[in-house]
């Protein structure tokens, strides 16, 4: 068996293992988390403007909650982020949010209302 054939067999083996791993990953329920739209639980406004006060609290990042006041109905609620995206700069965060909101349809105010 030539060196090229050995390398080809090794690459094929790796590719098959990668496909198996991806298929198992796609079936993992932790990976397939369905996120809900950002809706006020009181007035049901989609993606409402809110005010948020800074908190001196601390704890694990995965357990952070946001106490917000809906500016449509003036009532408080707790937001629990299901998925976190991290960025190094405000500009990068702004770009990520704009892209995410455009994909999910939250980039305009046309979908507002109760």
Tens-level pLDDT at each residue, the chain (114 residues): 788 778 888 788 888 888 888 787 777 666 555 667 889 999 999 989 999 988 788 888 888 889 999 999 999 999 988 778 889 999 999 998 888 878 777 665 554 444
Q: Which residues contact 61 (CB under 8 A, 6 or more apart)?
A: 84
Q: Which residues contact 43 (CB under 8 A, 6 or more apart)?
A: 70, 72, 73, 75, 114
> Residue 6 belongs to what H/E stretch?
helix 3-27
Closest CA to 74 of 107, 108, 40, 37: 40
Prediction pTM value:
0.57
């Amino acid at each position: 068996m030539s060196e090229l054939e050995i390398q080809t067999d090794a690459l094929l083996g790796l590719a098959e293992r990668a496909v198996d791993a991806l298929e198992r990953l796609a079936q993992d329920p932790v990976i397939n988390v369905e996120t809900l739209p950002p809706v006020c639980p009181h007035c049901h406004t989609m993606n409402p403007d809110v005010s948020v006060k800074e908190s001196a609290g601390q704890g694990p990042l995965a357990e952070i909650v946001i106490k917000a006041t809906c500016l449509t109905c003036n009532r408080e609620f707790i937001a629990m982020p299901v998925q976190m995206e991290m960025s190094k700069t405000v500009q990068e965060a702004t770009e990520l949010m704009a892209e995410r909101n455009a994909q999910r349809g939250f980039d305009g105010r046309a979908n507002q209302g109760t």
